Structure 1
């Protein structure tokens, strides 16, 4: 029975999981006497399960060829683009004060873990709808965790092309000489290995936040948003939560899981030497988390020390914490803003802190995590290449001192990373040009493009001089942003791999 289920298309399995997930907000709304919302989720879940069952029965009687890795990549792309049409139905029917396009935008933003919302007033949505947004984002993060090992890694995509010996979008010929597990079994094995870890970490964070003083629903949504790096909040951010600085400290430690895959798994090791302290992604991420706030803080702190304003030490530490938390939050593309971020801005004296946050979001987190952006491993490969080129400027005949893996990363890996960086820059320019052609001013267009391509939706509220009201942009601009969020989640190289003739030959 399980073998027949695993033979179904990945998109159909994801639709069935989404239909079953709708019963949780339906039950929550029923308990809180929100009967209209409860019926919309319950009926959508029942109809979805019935439709998935009928399609499964229709496909079950026909012999089907085993899906390839490219087929699963296509299903993953369709899941982020088409599945929100189904996810938006109960949201649209339960809210009844918005258009279906707005509901679709909200679900694309949640599923891709972007977290950009059209509802800047949290009170407009009832708790059950906030719960659904958080659950969709959480499931989208879990999907990326699983897809990284089961879909992207075999194709050398998603950052694995930097350390792999094969070309991006193709399997490793050395491994192809051995019989691999079929794609359905590989997806199932990865899901059974990672889903309990993902759920356990979310549950632990939820418990800590509840103990810290958050309402159970707020703590649950914030826990899911932290693990999925979606930045979704039912109260407008963690700065408005009841757990205070204690909750921020706990969330800070859980956000470090987005810096490196090795923090929770070792199935896709990106370094030859084991251990988290040897992982270049984690070391580079912690360097940014600690270094950027210190640079922002240092000039003012030295000035305060010279004039012996030691009574400002508590506010100084508060400002430093606000900088450290916000830097990690935007580096992991979560987008939570610390309650002390305003103090950090005041101490730094920087007039445009949004530029720093956008730069951190563009760098992004670790490979095979829920974070978006360019990814730390690609930045590290470019750093190695630049370091070697500077050495050759001083000693043109020198020989690099590194292992074969490091040599490959700073040569072929850096070349592929540079190609991805150029594709990312071209995508950013294209999205910006299209948005400006649709009537959006240049600065908001840049912020929207970076926020969607890096899957850091809260940038729209903190990066500019004034928050961007997404509900006021046109319908075509919203569709462009939806396409940009899907492109940012899957990455440009994965989209290009879908044009491989092997996918369409049959």
Structure 2
């Protein structure tokens, strides 16, 4: 029975799962006697589940000519259709809002971006904040599943840097998508491996946050948002966390899971013999976690401020921790702000180090994780290639060492990473130009573009001196940002591979 269900088109399966997920906020609202919110989610769950069943029956015998192309199309289609499905009960439950605003909120949540139009904590009921965090959590798991089951066999999602093959075709293991194993086999195998770990880690963080002193819903939203790197809260940002420093340390430890794919079972490992301490992504992330907070901390004595606080050890610790936590948060594209981040800014003498946060978000986390951005492995490949070129300038006849894998990373891997970087930059340019043509100032257009493409929504409020209010944007501007969030989450290489003739012929 389960295998028969999993043989249905992927969009039908996802629609059914999304419909059943509406029962959780319906039950949450019913427990607190908020039936005005419970009814839209319960009715939405029933209606959309029946619709999914009917479409499933109609498409039960459908078999695509190209399984690889259908999986890529379903991946892109999920980000186009599911936010609409999620937005229907949300729009009905929120008073004085439009469906366009609800759609934008759900696109932001499902792509794990974390933009929010409802800055006022009292505007949304607790159940609606829970729904936003839950949609982001489901989006995070969908990212993991698509990375392992769809993108990796097709040599996409960052794996192309290690394999050295053409993205989208001729990838090692691509036959798994088209011949050896059907979609049902892959969904079953990877779900059995990934889902228990994903759920278990979420529940573990929730329990630990409860023990640290957070309230139930707040802790649950933090746990959902940390594992999915969405940065969504229930209206209480991390700066007002009830657990204080302990809560931030717990969240910091779990955010580290988004640095490397080795933290999850069933990960995409083409270099299985390498330990986690020798992992390139871990090494590069450690480098930035030392350099960025260290420079902000040392700037206090490098001419920024007077030396009145030289012996103020509590203030120094708060500044160092605020920089460390916020660096990890934006490097993993989560977007939580430490309660000591203001102290770190005052200590360094920088009122709004927005460029630092923008740069961290653009680099992003590890490949095949829930983090967005350019990804650390691509940055590492470009850095190693640049290092090798500098060596050749000094020693033209030198031979680069490290073995075949390192040579591949410096040559073919860096070449593919550079192509992705240029596509990334072109995406930035197009979105910035589109927003500027709609009348936004260049600075705001740039910050919103980086926030959308890197799926780091909190940049809108932290990377500028005056926070950008998303609710004040026009529908056309939100539509542009919605498309940018989808492109940033799916990755432009996967979209190009979908329209590649090499994929059509499979």
Shared fold, TM over 0.5? yes
How high is the TM-score relative to the length of structure 2?
Answer: 0.96
Alpha-carbon contact 2:330-2:336 (below 8 Å) kept: yes
Alpha-carbon contact 2:111-2:139 (below 8 Å) kept: yes
Shift, 1:416, TM fit: 0.5
Aligned match of 2:42: 42
Aligned match of 2:293: 293
Structure 1 vs Structure 2 CA RMSD: 2.0
Aligned match of 2:9: 9
Distance (whole Å) between structure 2 residues aligned to residue 351 and residue 393 of structure 1:
40
Distance (whole Å) between structure 2 residues aligned to residue 345 and residue 299 of structure 1:
10
Which residues of 2 match residues 12-411 of structure 1 at below 5 A?
A: 12-60=12-60, 62=61, 64-65=63-64, 68-172=67-171, 176=175, 180-265=180-265, 267-271=267-271, 273-301=273-301, 309=309, 311-411=311-411
Distance (whole Å) between structure 1 residues aligned to residue 124 and residue 328 of structure 2:
29
Distance (whole Å) between structure 2 residues aligned to residue 202 and residue 243 of structure 1:
17
Aligned match of 2:471: 471
**Structure 1 position 483 matched with structure 2 position 483:** yes
- The alignment covers a number of residue pairs equal to 505
Shift, 1:264, TM fit: 2.2
Alpha-carbon contact 1:304-1:310 (below 8 Å) kept: no
Matched residue SS, 2:312: helix
Shift, 1:243, TM fit: 1.0
Distance (whole Å) between structure 1 residues aligned to residue 67 and residue 174 of structure 2:
15
- In the TM superposition, what whole-angstrom CA distance separates every residue of 1:171-195 from its partner, at most 9, and x where no partner exists? 4267749963222211221111001
Matched residue SS, 1:154: coil
Matched residue SS, 1:163: helix
Alpha-carbon contact 2:154-2:173 (below 8 Å) kept: no
Distance (whole Å) between structure 1 residues aligned to residue 232 and residue 211 of structure 2:
20
- In the TM superposition, what whole-angstrom CA distance separates every residue of 1:26-79 from its partner, at most 9, and x where no partner exists? 01111111111101000000001100111111122x352476122111101110
How high is the TM-score relative to the length of structure 1?
Answer: 0.96
Alpha-carbon contact 1:235-1:241 (below 8 Å) kept: no
Change (3 A) 1:303 1:270: farther
Alpha-carbon contact 2:281-2:377 (below 8 Å) kept: yes
Distance (whole Å) between structure 2 residues aligned to residue 407 and residue 465 of structure 1:
44
Alpha-carbon contact 1:71-1:503 (below 8 Å) kept: no
Distance (whole Å) between structure 2 residues aligned to residue 44 and residue 196 of structure 1:
27
Alpha-carbon contact 1:372-1:489 (below 8 Å) kept: yes
Distance (whole Å) between structure 1 residues aligned to residue 304 and residue 439 of structure 2:
46
- In the TM superposition, what whole-angstrom CA distance separates every residue of 1:310-343 from its partner, at most 9, and x where no partner exists? 5411110010000000000000000000000011
Alpha-carbon contact 2:153-2:172 (below 8 Å) kept: no
What stretches of structure 2 of length at least 5 have no aligned partner? none
What stretches of structure 1 of length at least 5 have no aligned partner? none
Distance (whole Å) between structure 1 residues aligned to residue 503 and residue 410 of structure 2:
31
Aligned match of 1:421: 421
- In the TM superposition, what whole-angstrom CA distance separates every residue of 1:280-324 from its partner, at most 9, and x where no partner exists? 001111111122100111132578999685541111001000000
